[in-house]
Amino acid sequence: DAMVIQNPRYQVTQFGKPVTLSCSQTLNHNVMYWYQQKSSQAPKLLFHYYDKDFNNEADTPDNFQSRRPNTSFCFLDIRSPGLGDAAMYLCATSRDRGVAGNTIYFGEGSWLTVV
Amino acid sequence: GESVGLHLPTLSVQEGDNSIINCAYSNSASDYFIWYKQESGKGPQFIIDIRSNMDKRQGQRVTVLLNKTVKHLSLQIAATQPGDSAVYFCAENMGGGGGNKLTFGTGTQLKVEL
């Protein structure tokens, strides 16, 4: 059974129209991450939550925001999608942070197309 | 077959042969390394990990070797099967406060030929 569940798997949005991607986890992990992966590239970390503490990567554009209303759910909000934001967005979780050996589990990703 | 580097190279091997996928990591302070397998259209799947106090770790049909002197990591797959076809990413964990920060290498496309 899937432990990190992303919805929707495929999302088409119009240029500039806000979009939200969701992630839920059944692992009760403290840390949740959002990665962006463009075609033929490695995943790139956008931000992560440790419990309710939000940690943004320095080079993540302001256009990307996140919410974590409870332990199980985390959302990625793209306020004004541009064509360059078309990518697969990966949610991931880990039990804890700052400890070597914490396996990070990924969801199956949400594909975003911007038209 | 063997590949080198982080340029998303393609490694083609015959079914049944051993595969070696190489990765050069960037941060000498990284304390934990992971290999992920990513099939087309899916999220990365954990394969095997190794801590910096080890130089070798074995799993089922897979072995990871770590050479900290030259900051090099390799994944060996024994008796490669068609189901092993995927992109393989190495990732280094820089640990420390603020969360596990995985930095991914570019990836290697493994193609298994029948």
Residue A1 has pLDDT above 90, yes or no: no
Contact call for A101 and B49, based on CB within 8 A:
yes
CA-CA distance, B62 to B42, in Å (whole number)?
A: 21
DSSP-derived letter for residue B2 is B
A29 or B27, which is more confident: A29
Annotate A17-86 with DSSP letters as a single string. --EEEEEEESS--SEEEEEEE-TTS--EEEEEEETTEEEE-TT--TTEEEE-SSSSEEEEEESS--GGG-
Contact call for B100 and A104, based on CB within 8 A:
yes
Q: For residue B56, how many other CB atoms are within 10 A of its CB?
A: 11
DSSP-derived letter for residue B52 is T
C-alpha distances out from residue B111 to A40, B8, B70, Å: 15, 12, 27
Which conformational region is residue A52 in: left (phi greater than 0), alpha (psi within -120 to 50 degrees), or beta?
A: alpha
| Residues in chain B within 8 Å Cβ distance of A101 | 32, 49, 51
Q: Are A40 and B7 in contact (CB under 8 A)?
A: no
Please write the tens of the pLDDT for every residue from B95-110: 655 456 788 888 999 9
| Residues in chain B within 8 Å Cβ distance of A6 | 43
Q: Sheet holding B62-67: strands in order across?
A: B19-24, B72-77, B62-67, B56-58
| Residues in chain B within 8 Å Cβ distance of A103 | 34, 46, 49
Please write the tens of the pLDDT for every residue from B14-60: 999 999 999 998 888 888 899 999 999 899 999 999 998 999 999 99
Please write the tens of the pLDDT for every residue from A72-95: 999 999 999 999 999 999 999 998
What single-letter amino acid sits at B94? M
Contact call for A98 and B96, based on CB within 8 A:
yes
| Residues in chain B within 8 Å Cβ distance of A100 | 31-32, 51-52, 93, 95
Map tokens 């076809």 to a residue.
B85
> Which of A40, A55, A111 comes nearest B99 by C-beta?
A55
Residue A97 has pLDDT above 80, yes or no: no
Q: Average of pLDDT values for A89-113?
A: 86
Contact call for B43 and A109, based on CB within 8 A:
yes
C-alpha distances out from residue A88 to A60, A64, A68, A81, B70, Å: 15, 14, 20, 13, 33
Please list, in sequence order, all residues whose beta carbon lies within 8 angstroms of the beta carbon of residue A15, skipping any fewer than 6 positions away. Answer: A81, A82, A83, A114, A115
A44 to chain B, minimum CA–CA distance in Å? Answer: 7
What single-letter amino acid sits at A113? T
| Residues in chain B within 8 Å Cβ distance of A92 | 43
